[in-house]
Amino acid sequence: MEHTIQLHDKKFKIMIPAEEIDRAVSAVAERVREDYKEIDTPVFLGVLNGSFMFMSDLIKKLDFNCELSFVKLSSYTGDHTTGEVKTLIGLNNNLKDRHVIIVEDIVDTGESMEHMIDLLKAYEPASIRMCTLFFKPAAYRKTMPVDYCAMEIGNEFIVGYGLDYNQLGRNFKDIYVVTEE
Ligand code: 5GP
Ligand code: MG
């Protein structure tokens, strides 16, 4: 395990080792399993790119039938009257009357999650819950509940286990935090 890594112009030091992440993922998976084991084929929707490792580890700990898909929030900037318009790409499941669990890497202000939920409501699912690997309660500005969260952290910037700094750092199995120097 490398204790510090350099990504672009910044140094990061180890913050959460892989074993600790695994314990937190197991604990949150157990809560999801309890709540969904009787539900008919829930749909897990991972938000790319950051959630791919969490999704992979989470889903392996569940022993009931479920579907899985990855989606991306694409943003394109319209003219200044329309502002930023976000659309959902990659969705090929029928979500009508289905139980959907959004799988996220990190919920910070909650903007992305709120937007994702608004877009998904148009598909008329039976329910929508969110399951995030990390949650920054001090940065959160929304009122909707964060249904499942594996780990809470402060406002520090982290990378690893799927999370990036300008596209680097996703491949590391541990979580690293940016250092001051
Ligand atoms: P929100 O919309 O909740 O403010 O931000 C969520 C998104 O911001 C995440 O999906 C992630 O892409 C990015 N983000 C927020 N905090 C961090 C962090 O500490 N590290 C990384 N790598 N991305 C973050
Ligand atoms: Mg994300």
**53 has pLDDT over 90:** yes
**Shortest-distance atom of ligand 1 to CA 114:** 2
pLDDT(62) > 70: yes
Q: What's the mean pLDDT in 22-29?
A: 98
Q: What is the pLDDT of residues 166-175, one digit of tens each?
A: 999 999 999 9
Q: Is 108 a catalytic residue?
A: yes
Q: Which atom of ligand 1 is nearest to the CA of 139?
A: 4
Determine phi and psi for 47, rounding to 5 degrees: -95, 115
Q: Which listed residue (108, 118, 147, 164) is catalytic?
A: 108
Q: What is the pLDDT of residues 99-156, one digit of tens each?
A: 999 999 999 999 999 999 999 999 999 999 999 999 999 999 999 999 999 999 999 9
| Unique residue bearing structure tokens 């009931």 | 64
Q: What CA–CA distance (Å, rounded) separates 66 from 52?
A: 17
How many angstroms separate the Cα of 84 from the Cα of each of 35, 47, 80, 87, 115?
36, 19, 8, 10, 12
Please report the pLDDT score of residue 180 as a whole number.
82
CA distance 138 to 110: 11
Query: Which pTM does this prediction carry?
Result: 0.95
Q: Are strands 84-89 and 67-77 parallel, antiparallel or unpaired?
A: antiparallel
pLDDT reported for residue 76: 65
| CA–CA separation, 16 and 150 (whole Å) | 12
Q: Which of 105, 149, 161 for mutating ligand 1's site (highest number of atoms within 8 Å of CB)?
A: 105
What percent of the chain has a predicted confidence (pLDDT) above 70?
93
| Ligand found nearest the CA of 109 | 1
* CB 170, CB 142: distance < 8 Å: no
